[in-house]
Amino acid sequence: MLQPFFNLLKIPDLRKKILFTLGLMAVYRIGAYIPTPGIDGMKLAQFFDNIAKSQGGTLFGIMNLFSGGAIERLTIFALGIMPYISSSIILQLLTTVIPALEKMAKEGEAGHKKIVQYTRYGTVVLAAIQSFFIAMWLEAPARFGGLQIVTSPGWGFRILTMITLTSGCAFIMWLGEQIQEKGIGNGISLIITVGIISRIPTAMYQLFSLLSPFSPDKAQINPFTLIVMVAMLVAVVVAVIVITQGQRKIPIQYAKRVVGRRVYGGQSTYIPLRVNQPGVIPIIFAQSIIMFPATIASLIPNPAMQNIAGTLMRGEVIYNAIYFLMIVFFSYFYTAITFNPHDVSENMKKYGGFVPGIRPGKGTAEYLDFVMTRITLPGALFLGIIAILPSIISGSLKIPYLVASFFGGTGLLIIVGVMLDTIQVLESQLIMRHYEGFAGRGRIRGRR
């Protein structure tokens, strides 16, 4: 099992790529501890602890998850990669409604480069806007229970914060692109994963402090409960892998064509329709919307907003029900945007491909839409269950949400998915150089 890892280090260019990737990820983690000038980090961390205990999570919690805890310390990488993700999603949605962008997306490599450039511009704009409002928010002690977070408020602090956080976000985006170009795997995804994994030591400390009889709170869980939790974690990870890799293969047959003395076509292939086509996007959308009242309540001390935020507190039955239904809805919504059966059927018809027993053109589009609608349901239900599982575990076992978050939710889905993709890339590199892969004679299949 360990031999493939040793083989990776035997190949000079592959070893160089791995070390390059690890080096840039180390730079990212170092930057996550460099504070933004003019901020009292201890008081800010205290405020986030109070939010986590009293209101059960806000939009800042999502940003904190993706940034590896940098937002609660307000470091130079506090915005993390969230502006880039938001810009990518916005541009992807606009591509389906703006003909010029849709045409650009179909232009191949040239169109892809233009869209990537627009995504970069959008990232910088979103980062500047977010950093400005964060600076304005930090300057008001009333929003922090009287805590003075900013030592010298004013336009000097606001401009400095905007420059620092926007530059940090742009630098993270550059790191991701460098990993993508010169390293191993998807750079942006690896940066997000490293940020999430960096919180595991804190979660482990909180978990074992509940086991220790010498802790101030006394032991809250027994060893048998810990064993059950470990077994549950293994089962959840296996389920995530199965759903992530699950796909429905639609057989495709290409007709034979005679050009001169040569015969083209006649091959058989398939279209892989993924069970979890939208990935973690539905959870991110649902989290952003359902946590919006709690975020507003933390910024505006209004009694009406406080009541709404209390009703939608994480772990409540109403919260879980609405959260689950929103994930199912966004799963179908995002699948409809990213998968166009009409375009797929037209491309097949253009090159002489057809589904056996299905009429080409409109009939094929209707068939693909029917199949995708059917297989999206189990994927959407699974995403909903995984998303609310941490809240259920945290409430039933009385453990911190940070610990329970690794039993499901966005973090676990991202970690498992990115690890599968990265291992699949490494295995392809090994097999290409005539080495045995991680799965022996088999092949590890990534998400794509």
Q: Are residues 75 and 213 in the same domain?
A: no
Higher pLDDT, 239 or 9: 239
pLDDT: which is higher, 435 or 76: 76
Residue 259: band (very low, low, confident or very high) from pLDDT cuts 50, 70, 90: low
For residue 278, pLDDT over 80 is answered with yes
Could you tell me the CA-to-CA distances from 322 to 312, 317, 364, 394 in Å, in that order? Answer: 9, 9, 35, 18
Q: What's the rounded mean pLDDT across residues 400-427?
A: 80
Residues 287, 164 share a domain: no
Does residue 442 have a pLDDT over 70? Answer: no
| Final residue of a structural domain among 177, 198, 219 | 198
Under the banding of pLDDT at 50, 70 and 90, the label for residue 424 is confident
User: Is 64 found in the same domain as 119?
Assistant: yes
- Is residue 266 predicted with pLDDT exceeding 70? no
Domain count, the chain: 2
Residue 154 has pLDDT above 80, yes or no: yes
DSSP string covering 127-142 = HHHHHHHHHHHHT-GG
**What is the separation of C-alpha 134 from the centre of its chain, rounded to a whole number of angstroms?**
22
| Percent of the chain predicted with pLDDT > 70 | 78
pLDDT of residue 178: 92
pLDDT of residue 163: 93
Highest mean pLDDT: which range of 81-90, 267-276, 364-373, 404-413: 364-373
Tell me: do 251 and 395 sit in the same domain. yes
Looking at 157, 172, 198, which one is the last position of a domain?
Answer: 198
25: pLDDT strictly greater than 50: yes
Q: What does the pLDDT read at residue 293? A: 65
What is the C-alpha to C-alpha distance for residues 233 and 281, in angstroms, rounded to an integer?
22
The total number of residues shown for the chain amounts to 448
> Are 98 and 218 members of one domain?
no
User: Which residue did the predictor score with more confidence, 258 or 88?
Assistant: 88
Quote the Cα angle for 237-241-243, to 5°.
Answer: 115
In a shared domain, residues 189 and 220 = no
Query: What's the pLDDT band for 166 if we cut at 50, 70, 90?
Result: very high
Question: Do 75 and 157 belong to one domain?
Answer: yes
The Cα–Cα gap between 163 and 156 comes to 11
Domain span holding position 60: 1-198
pLDDT tens digits, one per residue of 289-299: 777 666 666 55
Q: Are residues 161 and 265 in the same domain?
A: no
CATH number at residue 263: 1.10.3370.10
Segment 180-193, tens digit of pLDDT: 888 888 888 888 88
Strands 257-259 and 353-354: unpaired
Average pLDDT over residues 396-420: 79
Domain boundary, last residue among 198, 215, 241: 198
Instruction: Check residue 56 and give its pLDDT.
Output: 47
CA nearest to 383, candidates 268, 252, 285: 285
The residue ranking higher by pLDDT, 10 or 322, is 322
Residue 212 has pLDDT above 50, yes or no: yes
On whether both 372 and 226 belong to a single domain, the answer is: yes
Output the pLDDT for position 310: 65
In this structure, are strands 353-354 and 247-254 parallel, antiparallel, or unpaired? antiparallel
In sequence order, what are the residues at sequence separation of 6 or more whose Cβ sits closer than 8 angstroms to the Cβ of residue 169?
77, 79, 80, 81, 83, 84, 123, 124, 127
How many contiguous H segments (helices) and E segments (strands) does the chain have? 20, 5
Q: What is the pLDDT of residues 89-120, one digit of tens each?
A: 888 888 878 888 888 877 777 888 888 899 99
Same domain? 149 vs 252: no
Q: What is the pLDDT of residue 55?
A: 43
User: Average of pLDDT values for 220-244?
Assistant: 83
Quick one: 247 and 292 in the same domain? yes
> How confident is the model at residue 54, as a pLDDT?
46
The whole-number pLDDT of residue 172 equals: 92
Which residue did the predictor score with more confidence, 167 or 283? Answer: 167
Span 46-68, pLDDT tens digits: 776 665 544 445 556 666 666 66
- pLDDT higher than 70, residue 129: yes
Nearest residue to 293 via CA among 57, 133, 54, 65: 57
Q: How large is the average pLDDT for residues 359-388? A: 89
Of the pLDDT bands very low, low, confident and very high (cuts 50, 70, 90), residue 124 is very high
Based on the domain organization, do 442 and 339 belong to the same domain?
yes
